[in-house]
């Protein structure tokens, strides 16, 4: 995954990527388990998103961090309330306020719907 991050930075591309629990972000001068950072927050920004076919209320937080070995700046966006385990997104998009955080979540969720549709087509039509 570090190679993917390096590629995106090299090509100067913006990204929003869901990360797994084994990722270790660099935060305030040391490496932390992503779950430690995730569990230390609650989500201060309240919003609703379309998730699994219905509008769901969720809470979002974000942390300025660095995720790759290159220690390039990133945002860790934490989403609570959509499932049992909070979702963790990494992005290099600039966050200036709550509208930016909500926009990042909505951007990721729109991508998710496209992937679900593609999976459905493959399963239904043996594609």
List of domains in the chain: 2-125 (3.90.350.10)
CA distance 127 to 122: 4
- Report pLDDT digits (tens) over 75-106: 999 999 998 999 999 999 999 999 999 999 99
- Report pLDDT digits (tens) over 12-70: 889 898 888 998 999 999 999 999 999 999 899 999 998 877 899 999 999 999 977 77
In the predicted model, is pLDDT for residue 114 greater than 80? no
Q: What is the pLDDT of residue 83?
A: 87
CA separation (Å) from 109 to 14, 100, 117?
A: 16, 14, 12
Q: What is the pLDDT of residue 61?
A: 95
Q: What is the pLDDT of residue 87?
A: 92
Q: What is the pLDDT of residue 116?
A: 67
Nearest to 4 by CA among 70, 78, 65, 73: 70
The pTM of this model reads 0.83
Task: State both tokens at 9.
Answer: 């930075």
Q: What is the pLDDT of residue 37?
A: 93
Q: Is residue 89 exposed (0-12), middle (13-18) or buried (19+ Cβ within 10 Å)?
A: buried
Q: What is the pLDDT of residue 72?
A: 86
Q: What is the pLDDT of residue 113?
A: 65
CA-CA-CA-CA torsion sign (90, 41, 27, 36)? negative
CA distance 100 to 25: 21
Say if CB 82 and CB 49 are below 8 A apart. Answer: yes
Q: What is the pLDDT of residue 35?
A: 93
């Amino acid at each position: 995954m570090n190679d993917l991050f390096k590629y995106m930075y090299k090509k100067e591309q913006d990204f929003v990527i869901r990360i797994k629990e084994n990722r270790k972000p660099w935060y305030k001068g040391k490496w932390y388990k992503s779950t430690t950072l995730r569990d230390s927050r609650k989500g201060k920004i309240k919003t609703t998103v379309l998730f699994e076919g219905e509008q769901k209320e969720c809470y979002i937080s974000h942390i300025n961090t660095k995720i790759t070995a290159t220690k390039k700046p990133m945002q860790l966006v934490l989403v609570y309330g959509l499932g049992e385990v909070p979702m963790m997104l990494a992005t290099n998009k600039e966050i200036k306020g709550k509208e930016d955080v909500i926009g990042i979540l909505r951007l990721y969720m729109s991508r998710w719907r496209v992937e679900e549709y593609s999976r459905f087509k493959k399963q239904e039509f043996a594609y």
